[in-house]
Amino acid sequence: MNKRNLKAKRLVIKIGTSSLLYQNTNRLNLRAIERLAFVLSDLKNQGKEVVLVSSGAIGVGMGRLGLSVRPETIPEQQAVASVGQGELLGIYEREFQHYGKSVAQMLLTRDVLVYPQSKKNVSNAFQELLKMNVIPIVNENDAVSVDELDHKTKFGDNDQLSAIVANLIDADLLIMLSDIDGFYSNNPLADPNAEMYHTVTKIDANIIQAAGGRGTQFGTGGMITKLKAAKRILNNHQTMVLANGKNPRIIYNILAGEPVGTLFTPKEMSTKEGLA
């Protein structure tokens, strides 16, 4: 299969809860976080600009509070996420500091999409952080984002949030790390014969039909929200790779153009650059 030719100076990396917690114990996968911090810090040293969109607030909060079942009420979820977000950022801060890197916490609400001034302000903050060589770590502001009748403040899931951030900062590439090797013709958990797509250029009804729900109780979206994110990316003539975050070093393979994961790219780009 042909090598991919991806421009990747400004990157958004999204990591899902499924890659941050051990699935059997639901406790933090410290090794994965340590490896992620190593790779992203190394990319910074190569001169790349890196933004991390990290889920995990609810999962980490549940672990800290000793909850084995995701709480059902919204106030409980807000509270659990607030506990988890603090712990998560503390761990990132420690891990990145090990490689001499500074991080910033960016907790966003849907207002950045709705109000042009909010969008401008957030965009200014990202630009400034990138100029200062800081790695912004983004999550939805779960304590604040609650949809009310007249005020919708939730993105709903971090897959779409990561695509929105990629649009906002005009990223060259969105790398979405999950617990699965890529996008399959059917949910591989349910169908062992499902085949992985290497390149997707359009999100049509057939593609959407292949997507199923989330793999763990901590995440929100499953494949459906990843496809919604991919649609935003394609509409904006940008590129996204969905890959397995089990070992974050896969980011090196992606950036080297190796055909790992599923590449979502606008058609004109896939032919122009000779993609498989």
Ligand X SMILES: N[C@@H](CCC(=O)OP(=O)(O)O)C(=O)O
Ligand Y SMILES: Nc1ncnc2c1ncn2[C@@H]1O[C@H](COP(=O)(O)OP(=O)(O)O)[C@@H](O)[C@H]1O
Of the residues 55, 78, 262, 265, which one makes contact with ligand X according to CB under 6 A: 55
In the complex with ligand Y, the residue whose CB is nearer, 26 or 123, is 26
Q: Which residue is nearest to ligand Y (CB)?
A: 16
- What DSSP element (H or E) covers 12? strand 10-15
- Angle at which helices 158-168 and 223-235 cross, to 10°: 20
Closest CA to 160 of 224, 69, 81, 65: 224
Which of ligand Y, ligand X, none does residue 247 bind to, with CB < 5 to 8 Å depending on kind?
A: none
Query: Does residue 78 belong to the site contacting ligand X (CB under 6 A)?
Result: no
Size of the site for ligand Y (CB under 6 A): 23
Query: Does residue 270 belong to the site contacting ligand X (CB under 6 A)?
Result: no
- First-to-last alpha carbon distance for the chain, in angstroms, is 6
Cα distance between residue 229 and residue 48, in whole Å: 23
Cα distance between residue 57 and residue 75, in whole Å: 14
Q: Smallest distance, Å, CB 244 to ligand X?
A: 14
Q: Smallest distance, Å, CB 56 to ligand X?
A: 5
Query: Does residue 189 belong to the site contacting ligand Y (CB under 6 A)?
Result: yes
Query: Does residue 57 belong to the site contacting ligand X (CB under 6 A)?
Result: yes
Give the torsion through C-alpha atoms of 88, 94, 99, 105, to 10 deg: 50
Cα distance between residue 255 and residue 7, in whole Å: 8
Of the residues 178, 239, 265, 270, which one makes contact with ligand Y according to CB under 6 A: 178
Q: Smallest distance, Å, CB 178 to ligand Y?
A: 3
Of the residues 63, 136, 222, 261, which one makes contact with ligand Y according to CB under 6 A: 222
Query: Does residue 17 belong to the site contacting ligand Y (CB under 6 A)?
Result: yes
In DSSP notation, 259-276 reads: --SEEE--HHHHHHTT--
Which of ligand Y, ligand X, none does residue 212 bind to, with CB < 5 to 8 Å depending on kind?
A: ligand Y
Which of ligand Y, ligand X, none does residue 186 bind to, with CB < 5 to 8 Å depending on kind?
A: ligand Y
The tokens of 243 are what? 């890959």
Q: Are 191 and 179 in contact (CB under 8 A)?
A: no
- The span of 11-19, 26-34, 39-47, 202-210 binding ligand X (CB under 6 A) equals 11-19
The tokens of 15 are what? 């990591």
Q: Smallest distance, Å, CB 200 to ligand Y?
A: 11
In the complex with ligand X, the residue whose CB is nearer, 85 or 270, is 85
User: In sequence order, what E strands does 73-225 have?
Assistant: 103-108, 135-140, 173-178, 199-200
Of the residues 8, 11, 12, 81, which one makes contact with ligand X according to CB under 6 A: 81
Cα distance between residue 141 and residue 110, in whole Å: 9
Site residues (vs ligand X, CB under 6 A): 16-18, 55-59, 81, 139-140, 142, 157-159, 219-221
Site residues (vs ligand Y, CB under 6 A): 16-19, 178-180, 183-184, 186-189, 210-212, 214-216, 219, 221-223
